[in-house]
Structure 1
Amino acid sequence: MKTDLKKAIIFMLLSTLAFAVMNGVVKYLDGFNAYEKVFFRSLGTLIFTMPYLIYKKIPLLGNKRMLLIARGVIGAISLILFFLSLKYLPVGTAVTLRYLSPIFAAIFAVIWLKETIKPLQWLFFFMALTGVFVLQGFDGTTSLIGLLLVLTSALCMGLVFVVISKIGKQDHPMVIINYFMIIGTVLGGLLALNDWKTPVGNEWFLLLGLGVVGFIGQLFMTKSFQIASTNQVAPLKYLEVIFTVIIGVVWFLEIYTIWSVVGILLVITGLVLNILYKARISK
């Protein structure tokens, strides 16, 4: 059991590191518009998902097709908005705020899935949202445009969680990801046409690498959840924020004020406490 937990922790660390690297590369490729980056990020993952489904003879179209399309469209919009926000926000701040998606997911679940939110969970959500107000109200470096973009991205991601919950086990997880990547490739490609920039040299490697690194992150995260309980490994997801902040400071020489650090810590603490509390009451 201890060996399994150790392996799960290593998998989650590799996952968060992969996602942090992907965030850094997206920020680095500032000369490309967000739509083109979504196109390449999606295409790079399709290289893995499509052959896998064909090899395993898993039906590409799936069963809950309307929900699968909805998941793909909303997910692609969320990704576009997140990439757009990186033009205005430090990469660590943007990643932190996008992690507010569980709050929106919980609210959507109350409305559509008739789930309930415990009073203590509201307290944790309030703590996380207080972090947002600290970032905007006290940290003068936080862009309002960037804040609106990334919060809308988080809202869309919260909706994605509810849609996936509605799909349930009626479709293979790789089918769900494949729909997302196909729609991301098509939508990102079409929106990028008016301002397309042809990559040169290692830009091809970096752009296509977005999808490869993103897939690696997804794969290791899935493996981690498969061999350990949610409450043991889910809080480790937020290490992505720490890794991303480090990349922002070292790679892009970003400066985080004391208020931005306080805001980020409030968001992460509130969300981690919610995960631990949910795990406890579900036993």
Structure 2
Amino acid sequence: MVSKKERIMAMGKTDLGRAIFYMLLSTLGFTFMNVFVKYLVHFNAYELVFFRSLGSLFFTMGFLLQQGIPMLGNQKKLLVLRGLAGVTSMTLFFMSLKYLPVGTSVSIRYIAPIFAALFAVLLLKERIKAWQWVFFLMSFLGVIVLKGFDGQVSFVGLSLAMGAAIASGLVFILINKIGQGDHPVVVVNYFMFIATLVGGVLAIPYWVTPRGLEWLLLLSLGVFGFFGQLYMTKAFQGAKTNLVAPFKYMEVLFTGAIGFFWFNEVYGMWSLLGILLIVGGLVLNVWYKAKLEGLSS
């Protein structure tokens, strides 16, 4: 006979395994989106933003219409600001892929939580623990190693990726301010609508009509982005953040590997060390925050 405690433990392991599986599916979705953007980098970044957003907008608007959820939401100013910050981050990230290996660009973008913490200190008057500053410094040191010791890393690309991370950090703060006041899909729908509009208008002077397979690849950006977001949400809903969040950084490994085999991108010793420091600092911060939450509960 299996005891009740053993059944509960088995269910917990099953839920964790499913959450990790969802997170890996999410990272694969974002990986393919990033890789296809890199492949399509001969298109202007605004046109890439337009197609990536249009594909996801199809799913978000469809969901809201099906569920009868009002699209305009309740906190319109915050929703618009979140959309503008999001499209800024996306555009700068896509631009950076023209100058950086895809794995390097993804790694730098992932320091967004550090900027979110800085914004939280300045705007929300939150306090950051000493060890968190140590882990943030570790990630910033990784960026310094990338640029300071690897001569192949473009300053322009690095600046664009850092700008994307800063704007993404602001997105985290705005989402925190929105809180439970609006449905999550309404928040994403605002982002996708604004990004489609902004990307479409700004792309007009640089528009290049896709040919053949390019249509499919461009439209798939939104599909991969949507399902990456969907399965990431499912993963965080299914298990504790500290248990599944580290698997999110597998995106760096996946994109780096595909970049190596598909685009012949070479990562030198200093690049690998810089990426390791960036990801390591972020994972340690997730672990430390979860530990603090466990002690306070």
1:13-34 Cα distance to aligned partner (Å, 9 max, x none): 0100110111000000022110
**Match status 1:185 vs 2:196:** yes
Q: State the Cα distance separating 1:202 from its structure 2 match.
A: 1.0
Q: 1:32 maps to which residue?
A: 43
Q: Which residue of 2 aligns with 1:76?
A: 87
Moved over 2 A (4+): none
2:249 is paired with a residue whose SS is helix
Q: Distance in 2 between matches of 1:267 and 1:33?
A: 29
Match of residue 60 from structure 2? 49
Task: Provide the residue aligned with 1:126 in structure 2.
Answer: 137
What amino acid is aligned across from residue 48 of structure 2 in structure 1?
K
Please give the secondary structure, in 1, of the residue aligned with 2:91: helix
Residue from 48, 61, 66 that aligns with 2:72: 61
One-letter code of the match for 1:47?
Answer: F
Quote how far apart the aligned CAs of 1:62 are.
Answer: 0.4
Cα distance in structure 1, aligned partners of 2:13 and 2:131? 31
Residue in structure 2 matched with residue 117 of structure 1 by the alignment? 128
Distance 2:264 2:204 in 1: 32
Partner amino acid for 2:99? Y
Which of 210, 225, 229 is residue 240 of structure 2 equivalent to? 229
Q: Distance in 2 between matches of 1:91 and 1:131?
A: 16
1:3 aligns to 2:14 (yes or no): yes
Matches within 5 A, 1:1-283: 1-283=12-294
Q: What secondary structure sits across from 1:115 in the alignment?
A: coil
CA shift at 1:114, angstroms?
A: 1.5
1:129-176, Cα deviation, whole Å (9 max, x unpaired): 000000000001000000001101100000000000000011011000
Letter in 1 for 2:242: N
Deviation at 1:111, TM superposition (A): 1.2
Q: After superposition, what is the alpha-carbon deviation per residue over 1:46-67, rounded to whole angstroms, capped at 9, x for unaligned?
A: 1100010011011100011100
RMSD: 0.5
Structure 1: gaps (5+ residues): none
**Distance in 1 between residues matched to 2:227 and 2:261, nearest whole Å:** 23
TM-score, normalising length: structure 2: 0.95
1:99-133 CA-to-partner distances (Å, cap 9, x unmatched) read 00000000001111111100000000000000000
TM-score, L = length of structure 1: 0.99
Q: Distance in 1 between matches of 2:162 and 2:220?
A: 26
Over the matched positions of the two proteins, sequence identity in percent amounts to: 60
Equivalent residue letter for 2:62: P
Give the counterpart letter for 2:20 in structure 1. Answer: I
Distance 2:274 2:102 in 1: 14
> Displacement, 1:83?
0.2
For 1:11 and 1:17, locate their aligned partners in 2 and report how far apart those are by CA, in whole Å: 10
CA distance in 1, matches of 2:91, 2:50: 10
Equivalent residue of 1:199, what SS? coil
- The 3-state SS of whatever aligns with 1:61 is coil
Shift of 1:200: 1.2
